[in-house]
Amino acid sequence: MTSIHAQTVFDAATARQKAAEAEQLAADVAEFERKGGKVQRLGNTPIDRSGISRRQVVEGGADRRKAAKAGKP
């Protein structure tokens, strides 16, 4: 196997490294917000597929989704 298929053990980040990175990121975001910055937190709203096919979703049918919701053909 090549490195594409399997990550070597010594290359993996440790839990301690991940925790330190998460803590640093949280501190950076808190500092940004304290200075007046705003962070947009996105949810996981699913796509309403009742009026559109999966292929249209994949191809980026935003206009077709809007038209389907409005009841237009």
Residue 52 gets the label, from left (phi > 0), alpha (psi -120 to 50) or beta, of beta
Beta strands in the chain (DSSP E): none
Judge whether 69 and 51 are in contact, CB under 8 Å: yes
- Residue 9: pLDDT over 80: no
- pLDDT at position 31 is 96
pLDDT tens for 53-71 read: 777 777 776 676 677 777 7
pLDDT tens for 27-56 read: 999 999 999 999 888 888 776 667 777 777
**pTM for this predicted structure:** 0.43
The CA-based angle 16-22-27, given to 5 degrees, is 125
